[in-house]
Chain A
Amino acid sequence: MADTMSVTAHEPAHGPGPDATKRDFLKLVTGASAIIGAAAIAWPLVDSMNPSKDVLALAELEVDLTPIVQGQGIIVSWRGQPVFVRHRTEAEIKAAEAVALSELRDPEADSARIKPGHAQWLIVSGVCTHLGCIPLGNKPSDPRGTYGGWFCPCHGSQYDTSGRIRQGPAPANLPVVPYVFETDTKIKIG
């Protein structure tokens, strides 16, 4: 029954003139406000999916470097992954700087992998770039491979004292993680 009625009798009046401009302006303002309202409702929903405060609080990690003796490294957990913080000896630094870039599978100078004035500190991701195992080499008693850096027990990848891949199946160097020196003895990772 309802669908046989015609509705032409009640179309709102159209036409040019001052009324039309006022109507258009009102429509524009109302429409714009409705869009602002919709955006205001949508934004909290979308933003709620962004990292929450507790996740952000753990996104940065401060590490005190004082207990790390020369020649040793520690593993810290940052954003769910292992990070190596290694206190390199003079010999290890020299060995790293002496390598020619042409010898490297993933060419990168040692100076690009440390902060100026803090060459003794190497801070890299502890995830082997082959298939994700955690290489050995932080403790002096660990096997460090032929190049004195790290040795990955899963498939035999070997990294040098700058964390660069030298031998084995891994395609890339251990990535340097973002960090800053807050003081000479404290870094903030992330």
Chain B
Amino acid sequence: MVGLYKSDIKNPLLRWVDSRLPILSIVQKEYGVFPTPKNFNYFWAFGGLAMVNLMIMIATGIFLAMSYTPHINMAFDSVERIMRDVNYGWLLRYAHANGASMFFIVVYIHLFRGLYYGSYKAPRELLWMLGVVLLLLMMATAFMGYVLPWGQMSFWGATVITNLFSAIPLVGEPIVHWLWGGFSVANPTLNRFFSLHYLLPFVIVGVVFLHVVALHITGSNNPLGIEPKGPQDTLPFHPYYTVKDSVAICVYFMVFAMLVFFFPNALGHSDNYIPANPLLTPTHIVPEWYFLPFYAILRAVPSKLGGVTLMFGAILVLFALPWLDTSPVRSARFRPVYRIVFWFLVIACIALGVVGANPPEGIWVPIGRLGTAYYFIHFLVLMPLLGKLERPLPLPESISHPVLGGGPLPGAAAVHPMEKV
């Protein structure tokens, strides 16, 4: 018949549906037989883990929203009611709060995997940039979500961060009053943050869809950083990677369960169990751990506008990464200098995190400045230079030759010159 999709489904009922709306065929193609490099290590499971995490956050969030009240006089009490009276309310709340931490753990590892193996390089530039957009959306969602329980850190964290926008010359203050819906963080602010916090995860779902489509156009990267040459280099996603990802999912759930059931408040801040008091500032205002490195960058510079610019710049610089990195080789496995420099970045980020947790005095100030300087030097100076100056190791012929790892071919086999990617 004209216009119907040519479905390969055997079952007549499913075939009828599929020929009019080929969702089943699409899933078969994109997640069933989709050729996936066969040499993935477990770092390639983290994208899937992020998707699982997103679904858990949306599910727990929707059920929490059934009992939460977004009014300053009732928000804190409604959260306590969830913890005490709603059946499994404590489980929903702890899963949602610790799920946010798990989300950032998974996404940061996913991001650093991309940095190490060159997953951001051509032709995956747009895939990478969509990922950075997702990171920004996640950060906005998490920031607004933390305000909702209306504890001391909720209120004062919101006050500090929204005040940053006043650094914008000329229009800064009107923008902040517009954000607040008033002249300080108050009830209008809480209400609109609740609305936006409910909205953004669905925007994230949409961008995740784009992110996966972009991935399926180019195909996945792999630890060797060289493109698959044929079916001998790939495996169908199902069952090989559905099974392997389920191992990763089990380990992920174990870590999640340890947090939720045994250490539910370990990653949080005790001050957020104190109801918000606009007349009492906590001794140390700190964001949640996943914002600490950015907080350190913000406070590294004495100027308010400078700090804000650098803080946002730290993420914006990631957008430019595909063009900052000039190396013709993707994977750090074959980049002996970059491989070490990569770890300097990791150390700098961890150090910035520690700095962010501590008050901006004493030794933390120079360390914070050093870490910030290194962060920007790494992306803006080292990455462009290394690409030009580094002598990469010879790439293997293909993913299947040799089977394990990279490096020069043994014996009489010819060593091929570097592949142009």
* Interface locus among B13-21, B86-94, B104-112, B198-206: B86-94
With a cutoff of 8 Å between Cβ atoms, the chain B residues found around residue A12 in the complex are 239
Q: Is the Cβ of B236 less than 8 Å from the Cβ of A7?
A: yes
Look across to chain A and name the residue whose beta carbon is closest to the beta carbon of B239.
A12
* Interface locus among B142-150, B226-234, B272-280, B330-338: B226-234
B235 within 8 A of A: yes
With a cutoff of 8 Å between Cβ atoms, the chain B residues found around residue A9 in the complex are 231-232
Check A44/B81 contact, CB under 8 A, given A2-B35, A52-B86.
Answer: no
Q: Is the Cβ of B234 less than 8 Å from the Cβ of A5?
A: yes
Check A7/B33 contact, CB under 8 A, given A2-B218, A45-B63.
Answer: yes
Q: Is the Cβ of A5 less than 8 Å from the Cβ of B228?
A: yes
Look across to chain A and name the residue whose beta carbon is closest to the beta carbon of B62.
A45
Binary interface profile of A, 44-78, with partner B (CB < 8 Å = 1, else 0)? Answer: 11011110111100000000000000000000000
Q: Is the Cβ of A47 less than 8 Å from the Cβ of B35?
A: no
Tell me, in angstroms, the Cα distance from A48 to B67 when the chains sit together. Answer: 9
Q: Is the Cβ of A7 less than 8 Å from the Cβ of B88?
A: no
B192 within 8 A of A: no
Q: Is the Cβ of A47 less than 8 Å from the Cβ of B85?
A: no
Neighbour of A1 across the interface among B89, B219, B239, CB < 8 A: B219
Q: Is the Cβ of B235 less than 8 Å from the Cβ of A7?
A: yes
Look across to chain A and name the residue whose beta carbon is closest to the beta carbon of B235.
A10
Q: Is the Cβ of B84 less than 8 Å from the Cβ of A2?
A: no
Min CB–CB distance A115 → chain B (angstroms):
32
A3 within 8 A of B: yes
With a cutoff of 8 Å between Cβ atoms, the chain B residues found around residue A10 in the complex are 38, 231, 234-236, 240
With a cutoff of 8 Å between Cβ atoms, the chain A residues found around residue B414 in the complex are none
Min CB–CB distance A105 → chain B (angstroms):
42
Q: Is the Cβ of A48 less than 8 Å from the Cβ of B87?
A: yes
Tell me, in angstroms, the Cα distance from A30 to B242 when the chains sit together. Answer: 13
- Scan residues 285-329 of chain B and give those whose CB is less than 8 A from a CB of chain A: none
Q: Is the Cβ of A48 less than 8 Å from the Cβ of B85?
A: no
Check A48/B84 contact, CB under 8 A, given A7-B35, A10-B236.
Answer: no
With a cutoff of 8 Å between Cβ atoms, the chain B residues found around residue A55 in the complex are 85
Neighbour of B88 across the interface among A2, A3, A47, CB < 8 A: A47
- Scan residues 3-30 of chain A and give those whose CB is less than 8 A from a CB of chain B: 3, 5-12, 30
Look across to chain A and name the residue whose beta carbon is closest to the beta carbon of B227.
A1
Tell me, in angstroms, the Cα distance from A49 to B87 when the chains sit together. Answer: 8
Q: Is the Cβ of B63 less than 8 Å from the Cβ of A7?
A: no
With a cutoff of 8 Å between Cβ atoms, the chain B residues found around residue A54 in the complex are 81, 85
Q: Is the Cβ of A7 less than 8 Å from the Cβ of B85?
A: no
Check A48/B92 contact, CB under 8 A, given A2-B217, A7-B35.
Answer: yes
With a cutoff of 8 Å between Cβ atoms, the chain A residues found around residue B34 in the complex are 2
With a cutoff of 8 Å between Cβ atoms, the chain B residues found around residue A8 in the complex are 231
Neighbour of B216 across the interface among A2, A45, A52, CB < 8 A: A2
Q: Is the Cβ of A3 less than 8 Å from the Cβ of B231?
A: no
B59 within 8 A of A: yes
Tell me, in angstroms, the Cα distance from A34 to B236 when the chains sit together. Answer: 22
B416 within 8 A of A: no
With a cutoff of 8 Å between Cβ atoms, the chain A residues found around residue B232 in the complex are 9
Q: Is the Cβ of B63 less than 8 Å from the Cβ of A53?
A: no
With a cutoff of 8 Å between Cβ atoms, the chain A residues found around residue B92 in the complex are 44-45, 48
With a cutoff of 8 Å between Cβ atoms, the chain B residues found around residue A30 in the complex are 246
Tell me, in angstroms, the Cα distance from A3 to B26 when the chains sit together. Answer: 12
Neighbour of B66 across the interface among A7, A11, A48, CB < 8 A: A48
Min CB–CB distance B164 → chain A (angstroms):
37
B29 within 8 A of A: yes
Q: Is the Cβ of A3 less than 8 Å from the Cβ of B230?
A: no
Check A7/B59 contact, CB under 8 A, given A2-B34, A2-B218, A50-B87.
Answer: no
Tell me, in angstroms, the Cα distance from A1 to B218 when the chains sit together. Answer: 7
The 6 residue pairs across chains A and B that have the minimum distance between CB atoms: A44-B88, A2-B219, A54-B85, A53-B85, A5-B35, A52-B85
A residues at B contact (CB < 8 Å):
1-3, 5-12, 30, 34, 44-45, 47-50, 52-55
B residues at A contact (CB < 8 Å):
29, 33-35, 38, 59-60, 63, 66-67, 81, 84-89, 91-92, 216-219, 228, 230-232, 234-236, 239-240, 246
Can you list 16 contacts pairing A with B, beta carbon distance less than 8 Å?
A2-B35, A2-B217, A2-B218, A6-B231, A7-B33, A7-B231, A7-B234, A10-B240, A11-B236, A45-B60, A48-B66, A52-B81, A52-B85, A52-B87, A54-B85, A55-B85
